[in-house]
């Protein structure tokens, strides 16, 4: 397991609050992970966007400001790697899903230990709703990796529509031969439902018309699930992944043109604000608000190769390990349990695995007993960071991954980058995001101060050599970890 900066007083304070709550409620806390798709750091009002960029997010902002806003929460560079990281507590170097599997490509959770399996073993009701995209093979489907129930789609928004849409992809949609070729590829094309241990049930085929209603249907399924938890003696774990706001956005009729920006992307932001608000209302109405912790985040930074897309104040975008690719909007809310504040403490999405199990009664190193000895857990237990008042992060560093390599490491506000993406090295026209360009090995002195230079365009590696020493030491420490627990590749960009 990754080393933790253990603070006894903070841990003791958090454990007392948790014990007092469990005594009052008679069960462990409910856990909700609400995950957006391709939403940028500055799309939400609580991070300076919202109405300022033409898509007000008043309800999301209200909950964020009543919780702990995490200004340095880190995902993997793209969606499937991040989702697998949440599920396994491993970064993409270790779980091996290093890029999104598309149109029937292999890669998934089969054989890995998941958060849903472990929470289920601790007595939790486990529910997944929405986007999956962590493997379509039977052994990787949600109902076979620990979830009691799943309603959603198995892949990603554009896979259901882009080859059908003559506006965006006439080369395929208007070619009967190419259309049929895609149609016959082995990937799910439906909104589906499944129960633990059962088979996938195809509800209906998703097309460019009915996709606009998916998020509303899933929201209602989520609201119904939450209402059923009223009075339950079992805690629940809800993993909720929205369709939005991944391209191409087909706005629900009600939300079409409703944003001030009047783009399909901003209309989608307005819709996900309402979705989140309705789910939170359902938690309140079920009487479970005081016993439910909610993590809100995006699976990566904004996708920037297809407009309209999200916004970030940082360099880079989805598909890169510049800050814009891996640092998105995030907060954790827990009524009466989390002190409202803003924290720049380091938080990795892998920490959700450890923290959830800690809240379920398996804190710290106890988690190691629940996974195979060959499994390296990259997450750390951040329960005391969330729950104790005036707390600080228990994480010393964050590692940025590219395929099966370490691209960068951050300690405090400093970031050392041995590998970088040059996003405009191949083309200069059009929308250039993190999947464009080339990868380059640096000369060893590329270091950035993310406080004074969040755009990462001024290296301080030579000016601040004393600060580079601990960064390089941490980088080399993890290189040793990889010798004992080697990288694994299921699917990558290589």
Location of structure tokens 């629900």: 252
Q: How far apart are CA 94 and CA 489, in angstroms?
A: 8
Contacts of 267 (CB under 8 A, 6+ apart): 55, 249, 251, 255, 256, 257, 258, 259
Tokens of 192: 């589906």
Contact 215, 243 (CB under 8 A): yes
Q: Residue 251 pLDDT > 90, yes or no?
A: yes
Question: What's the whole-number mean pLDDT along residues 78-87?
Answer: 98
Range 188-220 burial, b when 16+ CB lie within 10 A, else e: bbebbbbebeeebeeeeebebeebbbbbbbbbe
Q: Residue 494 pLDDT > 90, yes or no?
A: no
Which tens digit of pLDDT belongs to each residue from 276-318? Answer: 999 999 999 999 999 999 999 999 999 999 999 999 999 999 9
State the DSSP string of 4-28.
----HHHHHHHHHHHHHHHHHHSSP
Task: Please name which of 58, 244, 259, 27 lies closest in space to residue 125, comparing C-alpha atoms.
Answer: 27
Which tens digit of pLDDT belongs to each residue from 356-368? Answer: 999 999 999 999 9
Q: Residue 493 pLDDT > 90, yes or no?
A: no
Say what the alpha-carbon torsion angle 95, 347, 367, 389 is, to the nearest 10 degrees. Answer: -170
The dihedral built from the CA positions of residue 35, 112, 148 and 25, taken in this order, carries a sign that is negative
Which tens digit of pLDDT belongs to each residue from 392-440? Answer: 999 999 999 999 999 999 999 999 999 999 999 999 898 999 999 999 9
- H or E element: which one contains 352? helix 351-359
Q: Residue 445 pLDDT > 90, yes or no?
A: no
State the DSSP string of 166-199.
TTT-HHHHT-HHHHHHHHTSSS--EEEEEETTS-
Give the CA count within 13 Å in the CB-facing half-sphere of 462: 2
The three-state secondary structure class of 131 is strand
What pLDDT does residue 226 have? 98
What pLDDT does residue 119 have? 98
Task: Please name which of 39, 37, 34, 35 lies closest in space to residue 328, comparing C-alpha atoms.
Answer: 39
Query: pTM of the full predicted structure?
Result: 0.98
CA distances to 127, 150, 244 from 203, in Å: 18, 12, 20
Contacts of 451 (CB under 8 A, 6+ apart): 413
Question: What's the whole-number mean pLDDT along residues 80-86?
Answer: 98
Contacts of 484 (CB under 8 A, 6+ apart): 376
SS3 content of the chain, % helix, strand, coil (to 5): 35, 15, 50
Tokens of 141: 């489907």
Question: What's the whole-number mean pLDDT along residues 49-75?
Answer: 98
Q: Residue 4 pLDDT > 90, yes or no?
A: yes
Q: Residue 89 pLDDT > 90, yes or no?
A: yes
State the DSSP string of 83-96.
HHHHHHS--HHHH-
Confidence of residue 258 (pLDDT cuts 50, 70, 90): very high
* Average pLDDT of the chain to the nearest whole number: 97
The three-state secondary structure class of 117 is helix
Q: Residue 380 pLDDT > 90, yes or no?
A: yes
């Amino acid at each position: 397991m990754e080393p933790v900066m253990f603070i006894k007083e903070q841990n003791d304070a958090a454990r007392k609050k948790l014990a007092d709550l469990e005594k009052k409620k008679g069960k462990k806390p409910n856990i909700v992970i609400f995950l957006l798709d391709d939403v940028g750091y500055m799309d939400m009002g609580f991070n300076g966007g919202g109405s300022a960029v033409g898509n007000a997010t008043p309800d999301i902002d209200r909950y964020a400001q009543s919780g702990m806003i995490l200004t340095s929460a880190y995902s993997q560079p793209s969606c499937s790697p991040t989702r697998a990281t949440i599920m396994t507590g491993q970064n993409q170097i270790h779980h091996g899903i290093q890029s999104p599997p598309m149109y029937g490509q292999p890669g998934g959770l089969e054989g890995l230990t998941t958060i849903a399996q472990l929470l289920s073993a601790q007595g939790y009701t486990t529910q997944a709703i929405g986007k999956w995209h962590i493997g379509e093979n039977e052994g990787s489907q949600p109902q076979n990796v620990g979830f009691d129930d799943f309603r959603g789609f198995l892949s990603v928004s554009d896979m259901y529509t882009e080859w059908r849409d003559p506006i965006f992809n006439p080369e395929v949609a208007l070619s009967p031969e190419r259309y049929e070729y895609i149609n016959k590829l082995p990937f799910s094309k439906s909104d589906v439902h499944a129960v633990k241990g059962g088979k996938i049930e195809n509800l209906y085929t998703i097309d460019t018309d009915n996709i606009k209603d998916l998020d509303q249907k899933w929201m209602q399924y989520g609201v119904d699930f939450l209402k059923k938890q009223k009075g339950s003696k079992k805690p629940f774990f809800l993993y909720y992944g929205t369709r939005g706001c991944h391209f191409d956005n087909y706005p629900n009729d009600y939300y079409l043109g409703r944003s001030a920006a009047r783009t399909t992307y901003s209309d989608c932001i307005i819709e996900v604000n309402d979705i989140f608000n309705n789910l939170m209302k359902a938690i309140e109405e079920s009487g479970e608000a005081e016993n439910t912790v909610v993590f809100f985040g995006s699976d990566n930074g904004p996708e920037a190769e297809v407009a309209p897309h999200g916004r970030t104040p940082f360099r880079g975008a989805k598909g890169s390990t510049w800050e814009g690719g891996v640092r998105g909007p995030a907060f954790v809310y827990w009524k009466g349990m989390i002190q409202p504040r803003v924290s720049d403490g380091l938080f990795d999405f892998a920490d959700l695995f450890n923290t959830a199990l800690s809240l379920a009664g398996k804190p710290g190193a106890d988690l190691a007993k629940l996974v195979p000895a060959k499994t390296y857990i990259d997450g750390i237990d951040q329960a005391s960071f969330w729950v104790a008042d005036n707390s600080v992060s228990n994480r010393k560093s964050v590692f940025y991954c590219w395929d099966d390599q370490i691209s960068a490491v951050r300690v405090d506000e400093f970031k050392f980058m041995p590998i970088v993406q040059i996003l405009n090295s191949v083309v200069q026209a059009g929308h250039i995001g993190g999947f464009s360009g080339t990868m380059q090995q640096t000369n060893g002195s590329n270091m950035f101060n993310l406080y004074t230079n969040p755009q990462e365009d001024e290296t301080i590696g030579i000016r601040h050599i004393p600060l580079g020493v601990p960064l390089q030491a941490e980088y080399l420490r993890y290189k040793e970890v990889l010798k004992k627990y080697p990288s694994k590749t299921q699917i990558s960009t290589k």
